[in-house]
Amino acid sequence: MSSIIQLLPDHVANQIAAGEVVQRPASVVKELLENAVDARATDIKLIIKDAGKALVQVIDNGLGMSVTDARLCFERHATSKIRQAEDLFSLHTKGFRGEALASIAAIAHVEMKTKQDQEELGTHIIIEGSKFVSQDVAVLPKGTSFAVKNLFFNIPARRNFLKSDTVEYRHIIDEFQRVALAHPKIHFTFYHNGSEMFNLPPSTLRQRIVNIFSGKTNEKLVPVQEETEIVAIQGFVSKPEFAKKNRGEQFFFVNDRFIKSGYLHHAVMAAYDGILKDGAQPSYFLYLSVPPNTIDINIHPTKTEIKFDDEHALYAILRASIKHSLGQFNVAPVLDFDRDSNLDTPYHYKDLEGATPTIQVDGNFNPFSDDKPNKHFSNYKKPEPTANWESLYVGLKQDTDEIGHMTFENEEVTSSLFNDEEVEHSVHKTYQIHKKYIVSSIKSGMVIVDQQRAHQRVLYEQFLVNMTVNQASSQQLLFPLNLFFSSSEMNLIAELQLSLMNTGFVFEENNSDHIVISGIPVNVTESEVSLVLEQLLSDLQDGIPESSFSQNDTIAKSMAKSLAVKTGTHLTEKEQENLVNGLFACKDPNVSPFHKPTFITMRVEDLDKKFAL
Ligand code: ADP
Ligand code: MG
């Protein structure tokens, strides 16, 4: 039989290798930025168009390349950074595999201009799908410029696989931030479709973090510093009260390289043990320096995972040093999450004279008629119960006359305490159990409603209706709210602005790092605004949906989740009733927006069976 094995031609091998190195435009951004850093540039510009799909360009003022190197750098395994395997253990550069440029050139149109400082003239090369198109001598500034156009032009399947511009842009920002955070002494600028998104002058680490993540970040940060034989740690962690809902601002750098490590993340979380709300995520920017021979960076092609020789010691040191910082800056003991903000003295009371208390007696007061209204329901227009709900009750009135005569959670109350009207309505009586479920009798037996899920459904449908008919009412704020966000969060908000306005938000102005809100939806209170927006941003981690319909859907879901009454909240009778009526007035009362059942029913026969045992 004849032999069938062949060596793959270089351009095919490169295309295959590219699959590993270049998943998306952000991978190109990472490789080009890292090359510029390795070339010891002090000024690096990143220019992208259409989320990198049309163009990724990096311009640096680094060492540049000779004519020969300019040609060689596109060969596979062509690197100036290591010469032998041992060099891997004393690595001080980002790159070392010599694969990035070969891979990128195999799947895009690349134009490179490069000049070394001491040379008069530089080299200008165009290479498309691994084929050299042209090479010229050119007058150029010192440094290197790589322009990568039409990524995946020759692999349509990969190109089609790319996500929306919003998602791809997010990934690019992530990569940019990682490199910029690792090198605060380098000047970085970043342009997207002609607008300047970041301009980060050379600075201290703290300033760099603040420049990237908005001015508000400064007050949140607590420094961490520790030096031992096996690791030196420096950086910042956030005070627990500024913990966020998402993991967006968590960074580890090892020897100036961004890495991911579930194990080290665990060490940080352990340091915060007991001082964070459930599910809250601290921000951290931690820089570990270890001897290069105690780590192995080679275990992942994109080099974001590394192996440490002595993980356990590292864990213990990291945890202890963060604990120490949190303690030293006195952040640990002062936490009281359940503090009721209603107990704070409002500002305008501060300067008022004390008034003599007077006593007023309301003769009509009936402790059982109606409790203080819950804010969530006070603005809530009671919908007409639909046939759904009424049908559950049909035939009930005649055969249940006992229902109004007791309350299950409180002590027993006799009918004389209820006024006539209530007895009349006793048919709609509801009871709250364990501040979680609302129980009511229906024709066939009983219904048990999950208050949180039911309210999510009610709010979700309300928001959706408001947004689709564009007529949400909004409450004007006396003092506009200033809310600070990182620039990537600001981008998300800008994209969602229209949909948010449809829910009732009124935006006064948008700046680079904060928004000013002068009106908010009626069912949101002022103190909930930042919570609602934070939750929304966290829900949008995976990108903003493309269509405006699904955008509205995401916003409505997220806001319903933030604003719905939670399990554990006491509801007055009126509120319970409104909620149950509201639920059954919904288009789809059976499930929450997150597809969980909102209520169950139990038939009398089922109960009978239980008692028959
Ligand atoms: P690696 O970074 O792993 O060495 P690359 O394919 O990214 O591999 O780059 C190949 C070589 O090209 C580098 O080793 C370096 O010598 C040279 N090079 C790449 N980018 C630049 C740049 N911006 N300035 C100077 N030299 C560069
Ligand atoms: Mg490289």
Axis-axis angle for helices 165-182, 487-503 (nearest 10): 150
What span, in angstroms and rounded, lies between the C-alpha atoms of 592 and 211? 40
Task: Report the 3 state secondary structure along 380-427.
Answer: CCCCCCCHHHHHHHCCHHHHCCCHHHCCCCCCCCCHHHCCHHHHHHHH
285 Cα–ligand 1 center, Å:
28
* CA 104 – ligand 1 centroid, Å: 12
Alpha carbon of 59 to ligand 1 centroid (Å): 13
The answer to whether residues 123 and 231 belong to one domain is: no
- Any atom of ligand 1 within 6 Å of the Cβ of 71: no
Question: Does 189 map to a domain?
Answer: yes
Which neighbouring-strand residues pair with 190? 46, 198
Mean pLDDT confidence for 369-390: 45
Does 364 reside within a domain?
no
Taking CA atoms only, the protein residue closest to ligand 1 atom 25 is: 64
Question: What's the CATH code of the domain at 467?
Answer: 3.30.1370.100
User: Stretch 529-558: mean pLDDT, rounded?
Assistant: 79
Tokens at 540, concatenated? 């949008």
Mean pLDDT lowest among 127-131, 256-260, 470-474:
470-474
| Residue 67 binned pLDDT confidence (cut-offs 50, 70, 90) | very high
Task: Give the pLDDT of residue 448.
Answer: 93
Q: How is residue 13 written in tokens? A: 């091998």
Query: 33-47, 72-86, 564-578 — which one is most confidently predicted on average?
Result: 33-47
Average pLDDT across the chain, whole number: 80
Judge if 193 and 223 occupy the same domain.
no
Ligand 1 atom index nearest CA of 146: 23
The answer on 72 and 127 residing in a single domain is: yes
Q: Is residue 101 part of a domain?
A: yes
- Is 400's pLDDT higher than 50? no
At 546 the pLDDT is 67
Residue 444 and residue 575 in one domain? yes
For the CA of 99, the nearest atom of ligand 1: 6
Q: Are 181 and 258 in contact (CB under 8 A)?
A: yes
Q: Which two tokens stand for residue 108?
A: 């895009």
Q: Is 36 in the pocket of ligand 1 (CB under 6 A)?
A: yes
Point out the ligand nearest to the CA of residue 74.
Answer: 1
Q: Which ligand is nearest to the CA of 110?
A: 1
Q: Which of 35, 123, 302, when mutated, tests ligand 1's pocket best, judged by the most ligand atoms within 8 Å of its CB?
A: 35
The answer to whether position 359 is within a domain reads no
Q: Which residue has the higher pLDDT, 144 or 23?
A: 144
Closest ligand (CA of 37): 1
3-state secondary structure of 265: helix
Distances (CA, A) of 598 to 343, 504, 555: 34, 27, 20
Share of the chain above pLDDT 70, in %: 80
The radius of gyration of the chain from alpha carbons, rounded to an integer in Å, stands at 31
- CATH no. for residue 45? 3.30.565.10
Ligand sitting nearest the alpha carbon of 87 = 1
Q: Does some domain include residue 266?
A: yes
Query: In this structure, what token pair is assigned to residue 198?
Result: 């970041």
- Buried-exposed string 147-174: b where 16+ CB fall within 10 A, e elsewhere: bbbbbbebbeebeeebeebbbbbbbbbe
Residue 334 covered by a domain: no
Among residues 328, 354, 383, the one where a domain terminates is 328
Q: For the segment 417-446, what is each residue's pLDDT rounded down to a tens digit?
A: 333 333 334 445 889 999 999 998 888 888
Q: What residues does 49 pair with on adjacent strands?
A: 55
Q: The sheet that has 257-259: what strands, in order across it?
A: 221-227, 232-238, 284-289, 250-254, 257-259
Name which of 51-55, 119-123, 547-551, 599-603 the model is least confident about: 547-551
Judge whether 528 and 551 are in contact, CB under 8 Å: no
Last residue of a domain, one of 200, 222, 241: 200
Token pair for 239: 């005070």
Q: Hey, which of 312-321, 476-485, 525-534, 546-555 has the most confident mean pLDDT?
A: 312-321
Higher pLDDT, 263 or 401: 263
Nearest CA owner, ligand 1 atom 8: 98
Using a 6 Å cutoff on CB, does residue 499 contact ligand 1?
no
CB of 446 within 6 A of ligand 1: the answer is: no
**Do 17 and 163 belong together in one domain?**
yes
Q: Round to whole Å and give the CA distance between 493 and 509.
A: 12
Atom of ligand 1 nearest to the CA of 103: 6
Query: Measuring from atom 17 of ligand 1, which residue has the nearest CA?
Result: 73
- Same-domain pairing of 513 and 582: yes
Compute the distance from residue 55 Cα to the ligand 1 centre, in Å. 19
Assign 146 a pLDDT band (cuts: 50, 70, 90). very high
Q: 216 and 173, same structural domain?
A: no
Binned at pLDDT 50, 70 and 90, residue 81 comes out as confident
146 in the same domain as 102: yes
Q: Is the pLDDT of residue 341 over 60?
A: no
What local confidence, expressed as pLDDT, does residue 451 receive? Answer: 94
Q: Where does the pLDDT of residue 38 fall: very low under 50, low under 70, confident under 90, or very high at 90 and above?
A: very high
Q: Read off the pLDDT of each residue in 452-456 and give the average, rounded to a whole number.
A: 94
- Provide the total of helices (H) and of strands (E) in the chain, helices listed first: 19, 22
256, pLDDT greater than 70:
yes
- Tell me how far the alpha carbon of residue 76 lies from the centroid of ligand 1, in angstroms: 11
One-character DSSP codes across 464-533: HHHHHHT---EEEEEEEEEEE--HHHHHHHHHHHHHHHHHT-EEEEE-SSEEEEEEEETTS-GGGHHHHH
Assign 201 a pLDDT band (cuts: 50, 70, 90): very high
**Helix H segments across 122-186?**
156-161, 165-182
Residue 97 in contact with ligand 1 by CB distance below 6 A: yes
Q: How many CA atoms lie within 13 A of 447 on its CB side?
A: 29
Indicate if the pLDDT at residue 403 is higher than 50.
no
- Read off the pLDDT of each residue in 352-381 and give the average, rounded to a whole number: 49
Asked, for residue 387, whether it belongs to a domain, the answer is no
**Enclosing domain of residue 191:** 10-200
Query: Which ligand is nearest the CA of 64, by number?
Result: 1
Q: Do residues 267 and 318 lie in contact, with contact meaning Cβ atoms separated by under 8 Å?
A: yes
Ligand 1 site, residue 32, Cβ cutoff 6 A: no
Q: Is 79 in the pocket of ligand 1 (CB under 6 A)?
A: yes
8 Å CB contact between 175 and 198: no
Is 278 within the bounds of a domain?
A: yes
* pLDDT for residue 357: 53
Question: For the segment 487-535, what is each residue's pLDDT rounded down to a tens digit?
Answer: 778 888 888 888 888 888 888 877 777 888 888 888 888 888 888 888 8
By the 8 A CB rule, do 18 and 107 touch? yes
96 CA distance to ligand 2 middle (Å) = 7
Task: Read off the tokens for 121.
Answer: 């003239």
What is the arithmetic mean of pLDDT over 568-582? 88
Does the pLDDT at position 397 exceed 70? Answer: no
Q: What angle do CA 70, 75, 80 make, to 5 degrees?
A: 65
Distance 504 CA to ligand 2 centre (A): 48
- Counting from 1 in the atom list of ligand 1, the atom nearest the Cα of 100 is 6
**Position in ligand 1 atom list of the atom nearest CA 58:** 23
Ligand 1 touching residue 73 (CB < 6 A): yes
Residue whose C-alpha is closest to residue 228's, from 354, 314, 306, 162? 314
Q: What is the pLDDT of residue 402?
A: 36
Q: Are 145 and 227 contained in the same domain?
A: no
> CATH number, domain at 310?
3.30.230.10
If you measure from the C-alpha of residue 111 to the centroid of ligand 1, how many angstroms do you get, rounded to a whole number?
A: 14
Kindly identify the ligand whose nearest atom is closest to the C-alpha of 146.
Answer: 1
Q: Which strand (E) or helix (H) includes residue 451?
A: helix 451-469
Model confidence band, residue 70 (pLDDT cutoffs 50, 70, 90):
very high
> Which of the listed ranges 38-47, 90-99, 403-412 does the model predict with the highest average pLDDT?
38-47
**pLDDT mean over 481-490:** 82
Distance 390 CA to ligand 2 centre (A): 69
CB of 98 shorter than 6 A to ligand 1: yes
Q: Do 496 and 518 have their domain in common?
A: yes
Minimum CA distance residue for ligand 1 atom 21: 35
3-state secondary structure of 286: strand
Half-sphere exposure of residue 59: CA atoms within 13 angstroms, side-chain side: 10
Q: Report the separation in Å between the CA atom of 30 and the middle of ligand 1, taken as the mean of its atom positions.
A: 12
Ligand 1 mean position to 79 CA, how many Å? 6
Residues 118 and 246 in one domain: no
Residues less than 5 Å from ion ligand 2, measured at CB? 35, 95, 100
- The C-alpha atoms of residue 451 and residue 458 are separated, in whole angstroms, by 10
Cα(566)–Cα(577) distance, integer angstroms: 16
pLDDT at residue 486 is higher than 50:
yes
Pick from 328, 357, 379: which residue ends a domain? Answer: 328
Is 409's pLDDT higher than 50? Answer: no
Ligand 1 centre and the CA of 89: distance in Å? 19
The pLDDT confidence band at residue 220, using thresholds 50, 70 and 90, is confident
pLDDT at 126 over 90: yes
Same domain, 190 and 240: no
What per-residue confidence (pLDDT) applies to 246? 77
86 Cα–ligand 1 center, Å: 20
CA of 95 to the centre of ligand 2 (A): 4
Task: Tell which one of 68, 72, 77, 79 to mutate to probe ligand 1, the residue whose CB is within 8 A of the most ligand atoms.
Answer: 79
For ligand 1, mutation pick of 73, 75, 303 (most atoms within 8 Å of CB)? 73
For the chain, what is the domain count? Answer: 3
Residue 134 pLDDT: 96
pLDDT of 556 strictly over 50 = yes
Ligand closest to 80 (CA) is: 1
